């Protein structure tokens, strides 16, 4: 047998073995691993069942400039919700601070530095409020998905693959590492391994189609499932010189920038702050 013929045979055998091995991997690893879905569903159900909770959050997100330079920006804040009673959040971006108040009858968004606010009447629950302001004002409340009645709907929506990557450590705390993907986006979620408190610890979303693969990262801290809620926690009290502004339908400076998780809207830029 000639050297060339021998080389051809060896390559053919190697490729056949590689193809066979790949086929075996594809057959043994399902595109959606049940353990990953189960862990995320348990965490979402746990949050949905809580009558009240609060947490702090920190968000960083990338902006790719001219298709080359990647800049990272940050926001931080805190959320408090009491089911069927109200919601409060503050969000800080640089030197700009927004406060959000909802007491079951009206929503107020206050610009702290400018001592100005907008107010809209609304009689209903938190989830209905989220739907209305998204439809009428193109606005999302900060990290609203986690406080909804069905957080799993947003965190698992359209997932075509799901993988359990094992356990790791986040700031010294053990966590399950999960990875999900759909046609439009990829996202990873870290959940506490504590079966009694399966809280979300971190979420990272990646846009696989944008140049530079920009990411959105949300970190969750200081979970409290028995927060002290004062009578005025969800009520905004304007100062003597506070300016009430007209609430426009879209594109308002005072509405500020709010954060949604990267699974919120595949057709929108996840790094976009709602103006």
> Helix, strand or coil for residue 164?
strand
Residue 158: predicted pLDDT: 85
Residue 115: predicted pLDDT: 95
Give residue 261's pLDDT band: very low, low, confident or very high (50, 70, 90). low
Residue 236: predicted pLDDT: 95
Cβ-contact 71, 59 below 8 angstroms: no
Residue 248: predicted pLDDT: 65
Give residue 260's pLDDT band: very low, low, confident or very high (50, 70, 90). low
Residue with the larger pLDDT of the pair 86 and 249? 86
Residue 85: predicted pLDDT: 93
Average pLDDT over residues 211-216: 88
Q: What is the pTM of this model?
A: 0.78
Question: In whole angstroms, how large is the CA radius of gyration of the chain?
Answer: 23
Distance of CA 51 to the CA centre of its chain: 21
Sequence spans of domains, the chain: 34-244
Residue 67: predicted pLDDT: 76
User: How many Cα atoms are found within 13 Å in the side-chain-facing hemisphere of 52?
Assistant: 13
Cα 70 to Cα 61, 64, 215, 268: the distances in Å are 10, 4, 10, 19
Residue range 11-32, pLDDT digits in tens: 343 334 444 444 444 456 579 8
Distance of CA 207 to the CA centre of its chain: 14
DSSP E strands: which ranges in the chain? 52-65, 69-82, 86-93, 96-102, 106-111, 116-121, 161-170, 173-181, 186-192, 200-206, 215-224, 243-244
Is pLDDT of 35 > 90?
yes
Residue range 93-106, pLDDT digits in tens: 999 999 999 999 99
Least confident of 45-54, 144-153, 179-188, 257-266: 257-266
Least confident of 21-30, 64-73, 81-90: 21-30
Tokens of 102: 């909802």
Residue range 144-189, pLDDT digits in tens: 889 999 999 889 888 999 999 999 999 999 999 999 999 888 999 9
Give residue 191's pLDDT band: very low, low, confident or very high (50, 70, 90). very high
Instruction: State the DSSP string of 93-117.
Output: ETTEEEEEEE-SSEEEEEETTTTEE
Is 34-244 assigned to CATH 3.65.10.10?
no
Task: Give the helix, strand, coil percentages of the chain, each rounded to 5.
Answer: 25, 35, 40
Least confident of 90-99, 112-121, 122-131: 122-131
Nearest to 59 by CA among 79, 74, 70: 74
């Amino acid at each position: 047998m000639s050297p060339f013929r021998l080389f051809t045979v060896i390559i053919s055998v190697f490729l056949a073995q590689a193809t066979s091995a790949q086929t075996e991997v594809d057959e043994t690893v399902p595109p959606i691993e049940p353990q990953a879905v189960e862990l995320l569903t348990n965490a979402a159900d746990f949050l949905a069942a809580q009558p009240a909770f609060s947490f702090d959050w920190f968000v960083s997100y990338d902006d790719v400039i001219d298709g080359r330079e990647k800049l990272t920006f940050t926001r931080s804040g805190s959320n408090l919700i009491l089911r069927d009673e109200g919601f409060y959040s503050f969000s800080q971006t640089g030197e700009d601070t927004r406060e959000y108040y909802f007491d079951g009858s009206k929503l107020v968004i206050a610009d702290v530095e400018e001592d100005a606010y907008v107010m809209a009447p609304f009689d209903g629950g938190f989830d209905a409020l989220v739907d209305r302001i998204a439809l009428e004002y193109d606005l999302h409340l900060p990290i609203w998905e986690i406080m909804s009645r069905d957080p799993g709907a947003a965190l698992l929506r359209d997932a075509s693959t799901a993988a359990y990557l094992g356990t790791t450590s986040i700031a010294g705390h053990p966590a399950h590492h999960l990875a999900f993907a759909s046609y439009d986006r990829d996202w990873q979620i870290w959940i506490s391994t504590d079966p009694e408190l399966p809280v979300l610890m971190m979420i990272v979303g990646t846009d696989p189609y944008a140049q530079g693969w920009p990411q959105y990262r949300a970190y969750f801290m200081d979970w409290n499932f028995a927060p002290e809620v004062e009578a005025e926690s969800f009520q905004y009290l304007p100062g003597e010189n506070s300016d009430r502004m007209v609430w426009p339908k879209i594109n308002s400076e005072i509405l500020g920038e709010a954060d949604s998780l990267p699974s919120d809207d595949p057709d929108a830029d996840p790094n976009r702050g709602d103006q």
